[in-house]
Amino acid sequence: MAIPLSYNIRNLAVRKTTTVMTALGIALTVAVLLAAFALVDGLRVAFESSGHPLQILLTRKGSDSELSSNFARTVFNELKYKQGIARSAKGEPLASLEMVTVINLVSQEFPEGSNINVRGLTPIGLEMREDMTLKQGRWFTPGRREVTIGNSVAKRFPDAQIGKKLKFGRGEWDVVGVFESPQLARNSEILSDLNQAASDFERTDVLSSALIRATDAVAHQALINDLGYDTRLNVLARSEKDYFEMQTSSGDLVRYLGTFVALIMAIGSCFAAMNTMYAAVARRSKEIGTLRILGFSRRAILASFLLESILLSLLGGLFGILLVLPLSGITTGIGSSVTFAEVAFQLHVSPQIMLKGMVFALFMGAFGGFLPAFSAARKQILVALRQV
Amino acid sequence: MRFLTLIVKNCLRNRRRSFLTIFSLSISLCLLGVMAALYYALFFGAPPTAQARRAVTRHKVSIVFPMPIYYREQIRKVRGVEEVAIWQWYGGAYRDSRDQRNFFPRLAVEADRLFKIYLDYQIPDEQKQAFIRDPAGCILGRSLADRFNFKVGDKILIKGDIFPFDLDLTVRGIYSSEESNEDTLWFNFKYLENALRNSSRLAAGTFTILATDAADIPRISKEVDELFANAPAPTRTESEYSFGLSFLSFLGNIKVILMSICGAVTFTILLISANTMAMSVRERVREVGVLKTLGFQSSTIMGMILAESAIIALIGGVVGLSIAQVLCIGIRQGPAIVDQTKTLTIQPPVLLALLGLSMIIGISSAIVPAWNASRTNIIDALRFTD
């Protein structure tokens, strides 16, 4: 027969201070792990929400990112009437030639400045990003030195505000509007007119990339194959979704660091839990003896103490989750491993992450509690009863 | 100090507990040590001697924008500048570029000037001369060469992405360095010149400056930037050390991340230590009663308990920091994300601060139990059963 759970709960409650301190130690360990996970998950959400499933990004073969890519206008003109490319309401092909560059802006978090993507595009490019809505102001006017900035940029950089001017290329650009998109990675960009930007950077003939939209999923794959294998064009064709997902690797270093630190801390917390449980076993020697006399088996004692340790770590896991919950929603930026520009994202504590934290805590409790529980179960009845 | 024996005996009374405590303290302190060493190296450290004299000029807006080649001669004329060399980031793809393991920096540099500026590069003289003479030559860092098993005389093919041509290079030498990273491939700038003849793309990515005196770098930086303040490509000059750090922000807010880890670890140590002391004092309330009957004063008893906790924490600190120092050696051998990790070690001020911290934690975690124990009156203490 098993020893009732209430016995363990009461014991934890009686030793309030010890219980709370051990649980807090476990909580901090869990919190470190979860904070790293929340960061990486926020990044994943930002990138996975981005990209249109039917759109294809074309860059120069060999270029991982749009920033390092060169895309000639002539190549674009050659491919924009390809079969399988969708048309707009006006009958134009949904293909957009774009130029991407970066500028350096200073934020509160990074006083040294971070790089922000500036994208020059034509009206058709805006049309292909129908998910973007104006939040404030208006879109840039083609032919003018105007920019419309993404919501995350407006939030994070005091210099990028409506009515202010940004200095890049050959001069100043007016900020005329702020846009917002549910495709979160887009919000970290600054948009301007393609031809204005291209002439500023002396790139009128060679731009960065092209975005095209396929009519359906079959045409999407066909276009990727067709364009990718055309050696004359020398372009790399990737689904826009893949391009964004690839950038999730930007969080790798933080994830490795967080996991490494949490694992080391977990060893420490395991030993602390072990300490607590050994003390509990030593103090309750007489009780153990009594329980044995009452007929509880060694196995029941082992299970009971192990359970108590697990309960303790459960409490720690809960505390840990409570500690990281306030982090959820905090916005921070990280340099994308692909574009070298900052992507803003929100830390995201998802239920899966909480579950991972709980499991992590339970493992600590189980490991820390096993040896003490074992020693409790092994006690001889008479010796146990005689112990002071 | 009369009671030292007693204190040590107390430390050893429950060996398993002391061992577990010291072990978990040392694990946490080891972690704290590595993080603090990293933080110190990144944000307070002084650059190694050869590097201290170097500065880097880049385009003010972003490193991806080039600067005209003729800037070099103007920078060269600034007082205190001993040598200037052009760098250009080539990028490109080696083998399958989708595999991150095939990535390493490939930079074009003026071959003869490289060695005048990188005084810490160790390379046999004939290899050096062979590299300078060969416009299609390159040299590699030791760890890069080991990674791909490159040897002098090998051919390396790199596909261009930023630049519209491919590189066909011959390894002319392998350098090693005590302080700079050994993961770079340097190829002769003449290669770029030949390939980009008359193209507007022939430009400088950055200029690396060697100053006669490290102390002059702030002044040189200011003067260089003033030279080009109104030029089409304004510049930003800073010491090579802080230039390297500016790449860190790509990895996220490292400062905040490191600080929060340190904070969490410190607090964990405090909890572990406090927990142990609370348990250990509670077990000997009766003993405290006996000591009091023997005439020990409350303050002595309190001091003894505090000292015991301090000793345990200090042992944990010493063990943990020794492990941390070993870990630092491991990190030094590993791939360098920034040059700072090449010389990572726990500096004496950090070491002292951390040992002090572990002692403070030891003492402060014992204050409450020690205070309670020293204040219980004899009768209650003797009657106490746990």
Q: What is the pLDDT of residue B249?
A: 66
A271 closest CB neighbour out of B23, B252, B278: B23
Chain A contact set for B35 (CB, 8 A): 261
* Residue A184 CB contacts under 8 Å (≥ 6 apart), including other chains: A45, A46, A47, A49, A50, A152, A345
Instruction: Summarize pLDDT for B305-346 with one digit per residue, the tens.
Output: 899 999 999 999 999 999 999 999 888 877 666 677 777 888
* Same domain (yes/no): A330, A309: yes
Q: What is the pLDDT of residues A99-133, one digit of tens each?
A: 998 888 888 877 777 888 999 999 999 999 999 99
Question: Touching check for B34 and chain A: CB below 8 Å?
Answer: no
pLDDT tens digits for range A212-239: 999 999 999 999 999 988 888 888 899 9
A102, A67 contact by CB (below 8 A)? yes
Q: How confident is the model at residue B33 (pLDDT cuts 50, 70, 90)?
A: very high
Domain limits, chain B: 4-46+253-383, 61-233
Q: Tens digits of per-residue pLDDT, A362-376? A: 999 999 999 999 999
Are residues A272 and A324 part of one domain? yes
How far, in Å, are A23, A161, A189 from residue A136 at the CA level? Answer: 48, 10, 15
**Residue-range definition of the domain harbouring residue A59:** 55-213
Is the same domain home to A106 and A207? yes
Q: What is the pLDDT of residues A305-325, one digit of tens each?
A: 999 999 999 999 999 999 999
Strand, coil or helix: A164:
coil
Q: Are B251 and A340 an interchain contact pair (Cβ–Cβ within 8 Å)? A: no
How confident is the model at residue A66, as a pLDDT?
86
Residue A146 lies in a domain: yes
**Same-domain pairing of A291 and A344:** yes
Residue A74 lies in a domain: yes
Choose among A119, A112, A108: nearest CA to A168. Answer: A119
Confidence of residue A244 (pLDDT cuts 50, 70, 90): very high
| CB neighbour class for B5 (10 Å; exposed up to 12, middle 13-18, buried from 19) | exposed
**A57, A181, A241 from A89: Cα distances, Å:** 21, 22, 24
ipTM (interface pTM): 0.79
| Residue A199 and residue A320 in one domain | no
Our count of domains for chain A comes to 2
| A34 and A86 fall within a common domain | no
Q: Which of A110, A275, A334 sits opposite B20 (nearest CB)?
A: A275
Lowest mean pLDDT among A41-50, B106-115, B225-234, B269-278: B269-278
Residues A269 and A363 in one domain: yes
Among A89-98, A327-336, B52-61, B294-303, the range of highest mean pLDDT: A89-98
Q: How confident is the model at residue B116 (pLDDT cuts 50, 70, 90)?
A: very high
Q: What are the chain B neighbours of A156 within 8 Å (beta carbons)?
A: none
Same domain, A103 and A34: no
| A13 and A121 both lie in a single domain | no
- The pLDDT of residue B245 is above 80: no
Q: Dmax of chain A from CA atoms? A: 94
CA distance B28 to chain A (A): 6
| B61·A103 Cβ contact <8 A | yes
Chain A interface disruption, residue of B257, B260, B341, B385, most A CBs within 10 A: B257
Q: Which of A112-121, A155-164, A357-366 has the highest mean predicted lDDT (pLDDT)?
A: A357-366
User: A296 — phi, psi (to 5°)?
Assistant: -75, 135
CB < 8 Å from A in window 147-186 of B: 159-162, 164
CB contacts under 8 A, B 83-142 vs A, are: 91-93, 97, 100
Domain annotation covers residue A82: yes
In whole angstroms, what is the distance from residue B145 CA to residue B157 CA? 15
| pLDDT of residue A86 exceeding 90 | yes
Which stretches of A61-110 are DSSP H helices?
A: 73-79
Task: Identify whether residues A65 and A182 lie together within a single domain.
Answer: yes
What is the 8-class DSSP label of residue A159?
A: T
With respect to residue A306, please indicate whether it lies within any of the assigned structural domains. Answer: yes
Instruction: Please report the pLDDT score of residue A233 as a whole number.
Output: 84
The model's pTM: 0.83
Task: Report the SS3 class of residue A293.
Answer: helix
Give ∠ CA B249-B250-B253 in degrees, rounded to 5: 45
Least confident of A109-113, A179-183, A206-210: A109-113
Residue A176 tokens, joined: 């005329």
In a domain, A144, yes or no: yes
Q: Best mutation site among A28, A103, A281 for testing chain B: the one with the most B CBs within 10 Å?
A: A28
Q: Are residues A40 and A109 in the same domain?
A: no
pLDDT attached to residue B337: 64
How far is the C-alpha of A346 from the C-alpha of A26, rounded, in Å? 25
pLDDT of residue B100 exceeding 80: no
Pairing mode, if any, of strands A206-207 and A71-72? antiparallel
Partner A, chain B 338-377, Cβ-Cβ below 8 Å: none
Contacts of A18 in chain B (CB under 8 A): 275, 278-279
Q: Is residue A281 part of a domain?
A: yes
From the list A17, A101, A103, the residue facing B278 with the nearest CB is A17
Residue A229: inside a domain: no
The CA distance from B82 to the nearest CA of chain A, in Å, is 28
Is residue A76 within 8 A of residue B213, CB to CB? The reply is: no
Shared-domain flag, residues A295 and A278: yes
Closest residue of chain A to B248, computed from CA coordinates: A335
